[in-house]
Amino acid sequence: MEFLHKIFKIMSLQETLCPRCRKNSVVTDIESHEIFCSKCGMVIEERVSDQRPERTFANSTSNKSHTGGKTSLTKHDRGLRTMINPFDKDSTGNSLSSSMKLSMKRLRKWDARSMKKHDERSLQFALSEMLKIKEKLSLPDAVIEKASYIYRKALEKKLIRGRSISAVAAASLYAACRESETPRTTREIASAMGIKIKEVTASYRLIFKELELKVPVVDSVLCISKIASNANVSEKTKRFAMKLLKKAKKQNMLAGKHPMGVAASALYIASINLEENRTQKEIADAAGITEVTVRNRCKSLKKLA
């Protein structure tokens, strides 16, 4: 109500005549936040609040932004960290006194020491590794945000002690991919991180149990697009494989099966039916699985085809 009252007050002031020159020339200055007469210059209202939304100038080199950068969990300080000016000068550009210089030096020292805590350093290293994997695996920002949140929860519960930081970061990233239904395997994440798959799976089981994560079952239909792009399969074959998996899903034939293996088998059967020459090895390499898995899953799906 107070906001509406201010608006009606400003509108009524702009519609009235100037009390000095009695002319309808009242205007509002957005820069000085004043209402004044454009003829005689009389100020009628001072300090009018600017109700426009805040604007940022990200591409501008000068400091013209009303607000700072957005906060993000992918930054170890969430984008809220401030830095003490290294120059011993005040806001007007004058040099500080000797006692104030010593105080500022002491503050800078303690500020630098606060960043050298073990948890802070491990978090900074883990988040930097996640950002590297994001570029390698072409992951969206939402997945990295979720992975950062999961890693922070694991750090709060002290699940990092005695374990590799890279393994827990990779496990958090895999859990985020599962929650967002982004088709990425532990093999891909482990190879991108440069660690063993056993370390990723062991860390994933730990955070899944301790953090009580609710991870949905991966839909095998979503994995087809990824395998098809890696194997350079046509769109017609990809759609045939999707129809095949939907039929198998209705008959409950996919329960307990690895989604990537089922998707690769459906794609292989579709390539055979549509006379598109693709070997089991090509499909298996594109899916990141073995040829034995493709052969075993093809036995049950061939009946539907």
How many Cα atoms within 13 Å fall on the side-chain side of residue 211?
Answer: 27
31 domain residue, yes or no: yes
* Domain identity same for 174 and 198: yes
Q: Which residues contact 115 (CB under 8 A, 6 or more apart)?
A: 121
Q: Is the pTM of this model over 0.85?
A: no
Nearest partner of 83 among 122, 112, 54, 120, judged by Cα: 112
- E strands along the chain, which residues? 26-29, 34-37, 43-45
* Domain identity same for 243 and 288: yes
At residue 82 the predicted structure's pLDDT band, cuts being 50, 70 and 90, is low
Alpha carbon 242 to chain centroid distance? 29
73 domain residue, yes or no: no
87 domain residue, yes or no: no
At residue 203 the predicted structure's pLDDT band, cuts being 50, 70 and 90, is very high
Report the pLDDT value the prediction gives residue 114, as an integer from 0 to 100: 67
Nearest partner of 176 among 152, 195, 157, judged by Cα: 152
Residue 6's CATH number: 2.20.25.10
At residue 131 the predicted structure's pLDDT band, cuts being 50, 70 and 90, is confident
Report the pLDDT value the prediction gives residue 32, as an integer from 0 to 100: 61
Residues 86-113, mean pLDDT to the nearest whole number: 80
Do residues 297 and 257 touch, judged by C-beta distance below 8 A? yes
Q: Which residues contact 187 (CB under 8 A, 6 or more apart)?
A: 197, 288
Report the pLDDT value the prediction gives residue 60, as an integer from 0 to 100: 44
* Domain identity same for 199 and 237: no
Q: Whole-number mean pLDDT of the chain?
A: 77
105 domain residue, yes or no: no
- Burial track 173-211 (b if 16+ CB lie within 10 A, e otherwise): bbbbbbbbebbbbbebbbebbebeeebbbebbebbbeeb
- Choose one of 210, 229, 247: the last residue of a domain: 210
Q: Which two structure tokens, joined as six digits, stand for 19?
A: 């009390």
Report the pLDDT value the prediction gives residue 214, as an integer from 0 to 100: 83
Amino acid at 175: A
**26: containing domain:** 2-45
76 domain residue, yes or no: no
* Domain identity same for 18 and 39: yes
Q: Distance (Å, rounded) from C-alpha 128 to C-alpha 116?
A: 16
* Domain identity same for 202 and 236: no
56 domain residue, yes or no: no
- Is pLDDT at 68 greater than 80 in this prediction? no
Residues 131-137, mean pLDDT to the nearest whole number: 87
Instruction: Please state the φ and ψ torsions of residue 41, each to the nearest 5 degrees.
Output: 85, 10
What whole-number percentage of the chain has pLDDT above 90? 10
113 domain residue, yes or no: no
* Domain identity same for 197 and 124: yes
- Is pLDDT at 241 greater than 60 in this prediction? yes
Residues 158-172, mean pLDDT to the nearest whole number: 89
- Is pLDDT at 58 greater than 60 in this prediction? no
- Total domains in the fold of the chain: 3
197 domain residue, yes or no: yes
Give the strand pairing for 34-37 and 43-45: antiparallel
* Domain identity same for 206 and 235: no
Nearest partner of 148 among 73, 65, 205, judged by Cα: 73
Q: Distance (Å, rounded) from C-alpha 24 to C-alpha 97?
A: 55
* Domain identity same for 194 and 235: no
Report the pLDDT value the prediction gives residue 44, as an integer from 0 to 100: 73
Q: Residue 26 pairs with which residues in a beta bridge? A: 37
At residue 70 the predicted structure's pLDDT band, cuts being 50, 70 and 90, is low
* Domain identity same for 244 and 296: yes
- Choose one of 169, 191, 210: the last residue of a domain: 210
- Choose one of 210, 242, 274: the last residue of a domain: 210
Q: Where are the alpha helices (DSSP H) in 138-196?
A: 141-156, 165-179, 186-193
pLDDT in tens, 12-42: 444 567 777 777 777 776 656 677 777 777 7
Q: Distance (Å, rounded) from C-alpha 13 to C-alpha 169?
A: 60
Residue 279's CATH number: 1.10.472.10
